[in-house]
Structure 1
Amino acid sequence: MGRKGEVQVIQTEYRYQQLENWLLQAIAEQRWRLGERLPSIRALCEQQGVSKATVQHALQRLEAQGLVEARPKAGYFVALQPRAARAPRNLARIEAPRPVTVSELFLDIMRRGAAFDLLPDLHAGDLPPGIVALNRAIGRALRRQKGDDHQYYDAPAGEMALREQLALHGARRGWQVQPEQLCVTSGCQHALFLALMACCRKGDVVAVESPGFYGVLQLLEQLELQVIEVPTSSETGLDIDALERVLQRWDIRACVVSPAFATPSGALMPPAARQRLLALAEQFDLAIIEDDIYADTAFVQVPDPLKALDTGERVILCSSFSKALSRDLRLGWIAGGRWHERILHLKLVTQLASSRYLQRGVAEFMADGSFAAHLRRQRSELRSRRDRLIASLHDWPGEIRVSTPQGGLAVWLELPEPADTLGAYPRALEQGLVITPGPLFSVSGQFRNCLRISFAHPWDGRRIEALNRLPELLLPS
């Protein structure tokens, strides 16, 4: 005890601070790696002999520091720090327009069914709950077919019930679209095909992102269109300044862009850049083809589509369910703006009709809330898989740069030169691995030291082991 009149100060550490420091040390020692789930609140109470309030207070303090994150109905996870890895550089060069010749590598990867999997022969077990619910909805739609429905073709624009649900889905993202402004397609690739046919003629020049989606390059080749590649940032997407310089120099008919989580980088275009893009479209009489296929995979907030800002009807929005729901569904949609009637005609020519019962089943799946529930589960799972992938990449030797997407299905990896991912492709095949080399995302042979790696599948033991074998194949010794 101190003398009378003195106040004795005793330095103490509260229980929540003790727990907070213990968790910090455990994370630093990688007891739980980036993206991994911490023990439950109940488990921490039992392990540390503290109250639930103490545990919650400690976790909330760590969350406020950005070190852990709470996910609804899933628990707390070690958070991926935004600057934990350096972003890939914007190294694409601008070259004159040229015809497109798609690499045979693309065909080889697609034949193996391996666009998004290191181990395409490794199949997961149980179906996700959302796919189970989808299959049931489609089955009910098939059983409800009446009379001679099977004798009739679908309407050119697709089932009204599905278009109504798609319009409601768009409204939730800030896009006020009417069902009559939508057309159902056979996937997003078909939608992009219709868009390019509607606004371009043979020999026209089309601007694309670089690195960009190889499926678009394939379409340009088939339609005998020329391409000009515009550099992109792995964080903010298409370089609008570079696009303006390109538009000032060459006569360009259309620009294909993915504002939301573009593949391969997963970039998200900021609002100011979107406004500038639309202004350039007006100034240079440009058609904008928006590939919106990854937007619904957003980990936090689903961004509004570029189409929502389109007052001049210059944006053709293309999307599908293949990335957010099932690749096997083969249902997409397109909003053609000023080219809508032309697109409806081209739909009849290229596809004639879509499956009526399939559309009705998906419409029911959306209407009863099953699609929204599936997206909530999937977004949490994808974010966890992304974090685990990037955590594993941190362990690779050498100076690597990796994107940190807030949505999508893949990261873009820049390796130190003279890494040659294209040359590593056959060596990887010999070990049963299928990689997607950087040159696949360009027509000019760029990005040989880059690689796209997907987190679309669970990181089970075999995939982690396959991932850990890549450095010896890719990195120079």
Structure 2
Amino acid sequence: MAQELFLYETLCEQLAARIRRGGFAPGERLPSVRVLSKTFGVSVNTTIQSLHKLEMDGYIEVRERSGAYVREQLPAIGLSANLSHFPVLPVEVSLSDEILHYMEPYALSQALHLGIALPDASLMPVEKVMRLWRDASRRHTRTLWDYSHPNGLPLLTRQLALRSMGHEVAIADNDILVTNGCMEAIELALRAVTRPGDVVAVESPTYYGSLLALEVLGRRALEVPTHYRDGICLYSLEQAFRRGQVKACIVSCNVQNPLGYVMSTERKRRLVQLSSQYQVPLIENDIWGDTAYGGDTPPAKAFDHSGMVIYCNSFSKSLMPGLRLGWVAGGRFHDRLRELKQISSITTAAGPQLVMARFLESGGYAQHLVQLRAALHRQVGEALELVRQAFPPGTWVHPPEGGCVLWVRLPEHRDSRKLFQQALDDGIHIFPGSVFSVGPRHVDFMRLNVGSALTPEVREKIRRLGGLAAELQ
């Protein structure tokens, strides 16, 4: 096994060097697997592994039924060291104590909050939303007092469905179930398609809330290597599907947390095809999708012809976390989701639903998103440059395609868990990378929330954080 690992890594390095020297031009198709195996004197399996690593490192893209092609834009030298390559094995999740430990400082009002991922309230139309709330209280008192339909208020579900009208596969009104935030949607989805002890495929790194849900529900995680630009490795995922290793898969295709990528349409289609082909439900967390800088971006659900994608979303990141308003479109699993909702929280409060329905109907939400995306794009760009200036040489950070977080890797394998405490002592709250993976694969990473304006005070704190990172042993 050790010899095989050495061979595929060596072959990968040789091919990468040849690509960089111009031996294979951008857009050129590489020789077939069998030709490469014969040329380099290695097994077909070793060649496939090396091509898989080249794809993960950003040198090639593998096109279905066509072959491997050199990318038009190659990664920066040394960038592949920031990607994780590891055996894909199911593991128990045990992160709740660690996650709660890192979340607690959010309650400290005097700290600079770079830990919890959330755009600043100053970027949100708070007054408009509150006016709608006051109006709903006057005009719809009985509706606010009573239970709403288990699916949600028709006025809201209609507006949510309309947002998908341009998709290849639109979501119907009666396929939507309104929830108390995105996490309830994800929890209901997991309970609908898995049982305690089942294995669920997740990205690595992934949102720690998904890992916490798996732990609480007694599911195991199978971490799949995930590229900072292209998303979850479809090759590794298909191997897991083919072996029958997993009962479901949780993914974020748009503005993934913490990496910030937007998966290409081609890869989204392929992901949904794999879900349908192997009959593995796909739980899609699209909570950051509305913040993509490039504008409206279709989720994987948009290509779901077989109903295998359970789409989960909310307005917590794009408008107002206090609304606690989310939704799930369950496809073929809708009836089971509704049963679970009724024995969980019965229904979702009518007030937030009325407010959001009116905001969507008026066009106010669409207008808000245009302004929000522009503001976040500007702030994140400024913060990115500041981090590159203030942090020690060798620090790695890749520009996200939406949202307001930066995924930062410290040089020389410095432990961000140590930096967490030192930063907190200086009034700075960060989130270490260790909780974005079940295994100890991201301890030298951290996630920074840069959803607030870079005031002189914030700039000084980020410079101080960079100084602490430089001093870290």
Q: TM-score, normalised by structure 2?
A: 0.78
Partner in structure 2 of residue 374 of structure 1: 368
Query: Equivalences for 1:347-362 in 2 at 5 Å?
Result: 347-362=341-356
Partner in structure 2 of residue 138 of structure 1: 133
* 2:237 pairs with 1:243: yes
The two structures, once aligned, show a CA RMSD in angstroms of 2.6
Query: Equivalences for 1:110-129 in 2 at 5 Å?
Result: 110-113=103-106, 119-120=112-113, 127-128=122-123
Structure 1 regions of 5+ residues with no counterpart? 1-81
Deviates more, 1:445-454 or 1:221-230: 445-454
Partner in structure 2 of residue 456 of structure 1: 451
Partner in structure 2 of residue 420 of structure 1: 415
Query: Equivalences for 1:175-254 in 2 at 5 Å?
Result: 176-254=170-248
Deviation of residue 150 (structure 1)?
Answer: 4.9
Q: Secondary structure at the match of 1:446?
A: coil
Deviation of residue 84 (structure 1)?
Answer: 9.5
Deviates more, 1:332-341 or 1:165-174: 165-174
Partner AA of 1:449 in structure 2: D
Q: Give the alignment partner of residue 393 of structure 2, picking from 384, 392, 398.
A: 398
* 2:88 pairs with 1:101: no
CA distance in 2, matches of 1:178, 1:121: 38
Partner in structure 2 of residue 384 of structure 1: 378
CA distance in 1, matches of 2:217, 2:120: 40
Higher helix content, 1 or 2 = 2
> CA 1:125/1:103 → structure 2, altered by over 3 Å: closer, same or farther?
closer
* 2:439 pairs with 1:444: yes
Partner in structure 1 of residue 69 of structure 2: none
Partner AA of 1:293 in structure 2: I
Residues 92, 232 of structure 1: 8 Å contact kept:
no
Q: Give the alignment partner of residue 268 of structure 1, picking from 249, 262, 267.
A: 262
Asked which structure has the greater CA Rg, the reply is 1
Residues 406, 449 of structure 2: 8 Å contact kept:
yes
Partner AA of 2:225 in structure 1: P
Residues 120, 452 of structure 2: 8 Å contact kept:
no
Q: Secondary structure at the match of 1:184?
A: strand
Deviation of residue 114 (structure 1)?
Answer: 7.0
Deviates more, 1:240-249 or 1:326-335: 240-249
Query: Equivalences for 1:6-17 in 2 at 5 Å?
Result: none
CA distance in 2, matches of 1:124, 1:189: 18
CA distance in 2, matches of 1:87, 1:216: 27
Which structure 1 residue ranges, 4+ long, deviate > 6 Å from structure 2? 82-86, 121-126
Residues 175, 305 of structure 1: 8 Å contact kept:
no
Deviation of residue 272 (structure 1)?
Answer: 2.2
Residues 208, 229 of structure 1: 8 Å contact kept:
yes
Deviation of residue 109 (structure 1)?
Answer: 3.0
Residues 94, 228 of structure 1: 8 Å contact kept:
no
Q: Give the alignment partner of residue 276 of structure 2, picking from 278, 282, 285.
A: 282
Residues 139, 361 of structure 1: 8 Å contact kept:
no
* 2:274 pairs with 1:318: no
Q: Secondary structure at the match of 2:268?
A: helix
What percent of counterpart residues are identical? Answer: 33
Residues 114, 428 of structure 2: 8 Å contact kept:
no
Deviation of residue 300 (structure 1)?
Answer: 1.6
Partner AA of 1:158 in structure 2: G
> CA 1:300/1:84 → structure 2, altered by over 3 Å: closer, same or farther?
farther
Deviation of residue 108 (structure 1)?
Answer: 2.4
Q: Secondary structure at the match of 1:197?
A: helix
Aligned positions, number? 395
Q: TM-score, normalised by structure 1?
A: 0.78
CA distance in 2, matches of 1:355, 1:144: 16
Residues 424, 474 of structure 1: 8 Å contact kept:
yes
Deviates more, 1:466-475 or 1:447-456: 466-475
Partner in structure 1 of residue 83 of structure 2: 90
Residues 173, 303 of structure 1: 8 Å contact kept:
no
Q: Give the alignment partner of residue 427 of structure 2, picking from 414, 429, 432.
A: 432
Partner AA of 1:386 in structure 2: V
